[in-house]
């Protein structure tokens, strides 16, 4: 099985060296005559050509739309200027410090029912990537449920988890990790 695959593009000739011993030949010769599907040589072009892999919207593609909504989103003294909620390791529980921030955004969304947001859940790099996708979703959903309790409608809030795939800070120490365990509140253009 394995041999067939390895042999896919070249054929072994039926010629044996004269000194060849008796007990290791026929099976490999049989295998050698088989051919299988061509390799993956053209997969990179065709694979990419038909994909919609690049959407050309830039690296983060978000973030700054909120700052165009009004001065309160840029005033460092206004909780609306804060759009990142941080979490403890392996936890999706909202810490008390961030409750006023979430409340401020919830109130804005209730007052502006056409405004939609995406809550992007993220984790630090430690642990299993797919488990971190689940953990990131819990972080985003924690923020979403606090907003919904305050009257933000289901249709205003979209949730996505990027797990550890979109770090805000690079590095393998606590100062980077604490910046990466987060939910980002991303305002979407109307």
Q: Between residues 115 and 132, which has the closer beta carbon with respect to other proteins?
A: 132
Instruction: List residues binding other proteins (CB under 8 A).
Output: 2-3, 5-7, 9-13, 15-17, 19-21, 24, 28, 32, 37-59, 61, 89-90, 125-131, 133-135, 137-138, 159-163, 165-166, 170-172
Q: Which helix (H) or strand (E) holds 137?
A: helix 129-149
Q: Between residues 60 and 74, which has the closer beta carbon with respect to other proteins?
A: 60
CB of 108 to other proteins, least distance (A): 23
Q: Residue 32 is encoded by which pair of tokens?
A: 């050698």
Q: Between residues 24 and 93, which has the closer beta carbon with respect to other proteins?
A: 24
CB of 65 to other proteins, least distance (A): 14
Give which of 59, 81, 52, 56 is closest to 167, Cα–Cα. 59
CB of 82 to other proteins, least distance (A): 23
Buried b (16+ CB within 10 A) or exposed e, 82-116: bbebbbeeeebebeeebeebbebbbbbbeeeeebb
Strand stretches in the chain, DSSP E:
84-86, 117-122, 157-163, 182-187
Q: Between residues 61 and 76, which has the closer beta carbon with respect to other proteins?
A: 61
Q: What is the sign of the dihedral through the CA atoms of 160, 184, 143 and 107?
A: negative
CB of 76 to other proteins, least distance (A): 28
């Amino acid at each position: 099985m394995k041999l067939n695959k390895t042999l896919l593009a070249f054929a072994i000739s039926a010629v044996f060296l004269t000194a060849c011993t008796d007990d290791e030949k026929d099976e490999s010769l049989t295998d050698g005559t088989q051919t299988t599907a061509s390799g993956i040589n053209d997969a990179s072009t065709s694979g990419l050509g038909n994909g919609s892999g690049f959407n050309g919207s830039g690296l983060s593609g978000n973030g700054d739309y909120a700052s165009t909504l009004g001065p309160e989103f840029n005033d460092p003294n206004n909780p609306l200027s804060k759009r990142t909620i941080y979490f403890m390791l392996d936890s999706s529980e909202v810490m008390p410090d961030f409750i006023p921030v979430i409340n401020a955004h919830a109130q804005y969304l209730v007052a502006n029912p056409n405004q939609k947001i995406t809550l992007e859940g993220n984790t630090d790099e430690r642990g299993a990537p797919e488990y971190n996708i689940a953990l990131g979703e819990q972080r985003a959903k924690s923020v979403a449920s606090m907003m919904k309790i305050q009257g933000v409608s289901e249709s205003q809030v979209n949730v996505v988890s990027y797990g550890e795939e979109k770090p805000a800070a690079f590095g393998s120490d606590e100062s980077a990790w604490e910046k990466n365990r987060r939910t980002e509140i991303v305002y979407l253009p109307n």
